[in-house]
Structure 1
Amino acid sequence: MDGHHLDKDQLLLILPNLCPALYRNSGFYGINIQVQNYTARFFYRSLGQAYVADGQLSIGFSDSTGQITYGISKIDVSIAPADNWFPFSFTIPVFSNTSSAKNFFFIEFPPGSKGDFEFNLVSCFPPTYKDRVNGARMDIAQVFADLKPGYVRLPGGNDLEGPTILERFIWNNTIDLLENRPGRRGTWTGYNTEGFGLIELLTFVEDIGATPILAVYAGYSLDGKAVPQDELQPYIDEVIKELDFLTAYASNNSMGALREHLGRSEPFDIRYVEIGNEDFFAASSYSYRWPAFYNVLSQRYPNITFIATTTKSI
């Protein structure tokens, strides 16, 4: 595996001596461990002459002292060729609850290991809502489901626009395998991995019984810059491909075929599309951006209701 986007922001562990080594992560404000099976995944690469004694890593959960282990799995990493990224996916069964969230996820190297090792896309997840692959966390999803929302707008407004035009929500950067999603600078803070992308978002909305309102990028970003009128066509084409991807059948549309290839055979039920976000902040350019998008899209998708984000200047 060539790595693609894996050669960015990877974790490098350097073991200089023939001794045991341990990497620990406390999660976001702790890890609430329950008796259940957790699905763990990561990409692994050993560099040069690095080696793991006995070829096995121990991966699991422990308390903050490291003295109590709640669940553990042994992973044979000897099958991974040196200097190449290799994916691992496995289950960590947890056999006892803990009343504290002050716990750690750990990766342990046995005594005798030495060299440089890299990890990326490390995750460990409890069962997901409706058992969706790469789905939503059960407890958070259930809160949304209990609210019984009629509509859910996605992927969001400022997140759609992005800090700059280049850092906008680009839908086709969010649909491939996780290791092929490049990510981007976050709108408010941090980095967006796009790990919960367009397909996951729409599937989640379906699962909680809501109707999606899909927001599409309309040529304006949070730095206050708008795409000039004579340069809008590629962005309109981008939306056409997105809507074809979501609504077309695989038998007669290449974008529909791509959706099916990625695991979703049936089209999504897209009834409402919002063009842009909060464009009262950019009414002077929305006066040409709205008709440019609406005139093309409404002709191509007559069964979709298109929503303007402002009535100023249009």
Structure 2
Amino acid sequence: MNKKLLTCALALSAAMASFAQTHVMDVNTKKAGATVQNTMYGLFFEDINYAADGGLYGELVKNRSFEFPQSFMGWQTFGNVTLKNDGPFERCPHYVELGYAGHSERRTGLVNEGYFGIGVIEGEEYRFTVWAKAPKGTARIRVQLIDANTMGERQDFATAKLDVNGTEWKKYEVRIKSPRTDNKASLRIFLDGKNPVALEHISLFPVNTFKNRENGMRRDIAQALADMHPGVLRFPGGCIVEGECLDNRYQWKNTIGPVENRPLNRNRWEFTFEHRYYPDYFQSYGLGFFEFFQLSEDIGAEPLPVLNVGMACQYQNRNNEKAHVPVDELDPYIQDCLDLIEFANGDTTTTWGKKRAEMGHPAPFNLKFIAVGNEQWGDFYFVRMQKFVDAIRAKYPKIQIIGTSGPDSEGKNFDLGWEAMKRQKVDLVDEHFYRPESWFLTSGLRYEKYDRKGPKVFAGEYACHGKGKKWNHYETSLYEAAFMTDLERNADIVHMATYAPMLAHVEGWQWRPDLIWYDNVRLFKSVSYYVQQMYAMNKGTNVLTMTMDGQPIAGQEGQDGLFASSVIDKPSGTVIVKVINTSKQKQPVSINLSGIKGERKAETITLTCTDMMAENTLDEPEKIVPQEGSLNCEAGKKNTVINDEIAPMTFRIYKVKK
């Protein structure tokens, strides 16, 4: 064969191969399938990585009531400062007295370092509050925002004076407006004059919190949560629900009532990771269960509290029976669950409903779900869980109960967990899977084989952890998107899914990847955040059957790394198709929309990147974000056809009005 004929033959062969590689996908828009639950895509909060104090919770002062085991942790003291423990709040008794330093040229006072600094923003006002009294009847303090490391003439860049009158404890407030943005400011308090002053619960909040609540959330972080349009918010954890021992477990009753009288709790993440150790990591409980319920309401998510089942963390205690509450002594733990439901839903004549109303929310929170236990497994868990199920069913039969299948995505303990939860007839089973790339790419048909008659699935904690590269890079986020087609395709069995963890301070993290990262004045949303948002904002109302050669599109053999699912949004009549190309080659696709005819325009949302290791950062927060576009759909013989070519390693959504 001569060279010209050989060239032509190769070109023809390449063209035929290219044509053969077009992937024909069929979507049946005529028959709406399983309902996609409103709770399908949500958020999971755990106080790890400084997610609460130093993160979502708006408080800027660390150790505001001097209750840390080292009472002045977070503070510098100078002059005549005395620590006392007969303060006005029973569960937070410590306070300080600032006295005369002994000479007019000396100073007495305090400096608070905040959480990796105190972040303030130019033009914003900050609310300084303190409970105080003046032993001699009157006293004055100066409150300053300072830059201790400045080369400028003055350290302080904003100052306010506060007069304290009377010998009885009262709450005082003054506002300070910052003339600059500073990620590393400090709060300094000077005693002004000779008269002593007693100070307790020293607090500094942005006035501009989310929804402008006085004990509120940091606005930009909370807004990012709202912008994801979550259907459910799971709180407060996670392993903090258990504690490494039961003394440190999260106790919801300690987190309600006046914020000044909520006791300190040792955060089990303080000491869990020796390689990233933070000795000042405690829980002020300022962000408590009332605030969690309120936040759920504010962002439009169903609240999903998780309570302790009478067990400490099994990872840290294994088969030590003494670490857990004896089965015949579970009543207080069970009562905590029943009381919580009353706190959330009871009318104002009930004991706990009245407490909710006293905190400013007379109307019920309309709680529908409660989870008992976190990542427990084996008979230790099963025998205890049964008692909770029986008690909750007896008093609150409409509440949906969520059990757990343990920390594994498969295996003996996982199977035993599911069997036990089926026997106990819980409503949903909480599955957790932090797994490498290979797991996500080979689990695209995970839920097809599940028993449709048993409990529903709550994928309560999951993330793709890149092998040897455990951070929020683009590649792993794309594999999460691919796996999520299986959640959507099996919406009859999967009712909830929440990525984890949700939040991380860039200077205080212990676990990654995470959904949202921040310092004291800025944040960025990871690519995984945008994947979750793309699903949550395009979840539709019902599943549509979508196949390739009669098979689900889940990275199967012959599908060239393609994953896909489809839903319809009935109110708007919009068909929503999600396609993920996990291969390193572009993939031509032809999507037949059966039940739709004629030419149409498809709106598109595309997430793509050529650098698999790339990630968003504080300096480049929008390096990788979804891009909106459109394309014309062709009129086929019997249906409308989307013809497209999907770039390598790309997630694309098509939206077509039916």
1:41 corresponds in structure 2 to 129
Is contact 2:373–2:404 with CA below 8 Å preserved after alignment? Answer: yes
Partners of 1:231 and 1:31 in 2: CA distance: 44
Counterpart of 1:235 (choices 320, 333, 349) is 333
Structure 1 residue 196: Cα displacement: 0.8
Is contact 1:163–1:186 with CA below 8 Å preserved after alignment? Answer: no
TM-score normalised by length of structure 1: 0.86
Partners of 1:33 and 1:157 in 2: CA distance: 31
Structure 1 residue 68: Cα displacement: 5.4
Structure 1 residue 250: Cα displacement: 1.1
2:566 corresponds in structure 1 to none
Counterpart of 1:80 (choices 154, 166, 170) is 166
Q: CA-atom RMSD, angstroms? A: 2.4
Matches within 5 A, 1:168-247: 168-189=249-270, 190-222=281-313, 224=317, 225-247=323-345
Counterpart of 2:189 (choices 83, 104, 107) is 107
Is contact 2:98–2:109 with CA below 8 Å preserved after alignment? Answer: no
Which structure 2 residue ranges, 5 or more long, are not aligned?
1-86, 271-280, 318-322, 406-415, 421-658
CA offsets per residue over residues 200-253 of structure 1, 9 Å max, x none? 1111122122222211121001253221111112211121111111111114x2
Is contact 2:132–2:200 with CA below 8 Å preserved after alignment? Answer: yes
Partners of 2:155 and 2:266 in 1: CA distance: 38
Is contact 2:92–2:262 with CA below 8 Å preserved after alignment? Answer: no
Is contact 2:99–2:191 with CA below 8 Å preserved after alignment? Answer: no
CA offsets per residue over residues 70-114 of structure 1, 9 Å max, x none? 43222111x131xx54322232233x223x42322221222x426
Is contact 1:32–1:103 with CA below 8 Å preserved after alignment? Answer: yes
Is contact 1:18–1:114 with CA below 8 Å preserved after alignment? Answer: no
Partners of 1:58 and 1:80 in 2: CA distance: 18
Partners of 2:343 and 2:258 in 1: CA distance: 16
2:382 corresponds in structure 1 to 287
Residue type matched to 1:277 in 2? N
Partners of 1:305 and 1:76 in 2: CA distance: 53
Partners of 1:60 and 1:16 in 2: CA distance: 19
Is contact 1:3–1:85 with CA below 8 Å preserved after alignment? Answer: no
Tell me, yes or no, if structure 1 residue 21 matches structure 2 residue 108.
yes
Which sits farther off after the overlay, 209-218 or 196-205?
Answer: 209-218
SS in 1 for 2:269: coil
Tell me, yes or no, if structure 1 residue 119 matches structure 2 residue 199.
yes
Q: Give 1 or 2 for the bigger CA radius of gyration.
A: 2
1:297 corresponds in structure 2 to 392
Partners of 2:177 and 2:212 in 1: CA distance: 17
CA offsets per residue over residues 237-271 of structure 1, 9 Å max, x none? 121111111111114x2221221122111111211
Is contact 2:99–2:194 with CA below 8 Å preserved after alignment? Answer: no
CA offsets per residue over residues 112-162 of structure 1, 9 Å max, x none? 4265x5433211111210112311011221222222222221111211112
CA offsets per residue over residues 157-216 of structure 1, 9 Å max, x none? 211112322332221111011122122222111322111110011111221222222111
Identity, % of aligned pairs? 29
Partners of 1:26 and 1:165 in 2: CA distance: 31
Change (3 A) 1:80 1:167: farther
TM-score normalised by length of structure 2: 0.43
Matches within 5 A, 1:152-163: 152-163=233-244
Partners of 1:232 and 1:287 in 2: CA distance: 13
2:89 corresponds in structure 1 to 3
Tell me, yes or no, if structure 1 residue 97 matches structure 2 residue 180.
yes
2:158 corresponds in structure 1 to 71
Is contact 2:307–2:373 with CA below 8 Å preserved after alignment? Answer: yes
**More helix as a share of residues:** 1
1:164 corresponds in structure 2 to 245
Structure 1 residue 38: Cα displacement: 0.9
Partners of 1:88 and 1:158 in 2: CA distance: 37
1:262 corresponds in structure 2 to 359
SS in 2 for 1:71: strand
2:213 corresponds in structure 1 to 132
Residue type matched to 2:199 in 1? F
CA offsets per residue over residues 253-311 of structure 1, 9 Å max, x none? 2221221122111111211111111012xx22112111100011023222221011125
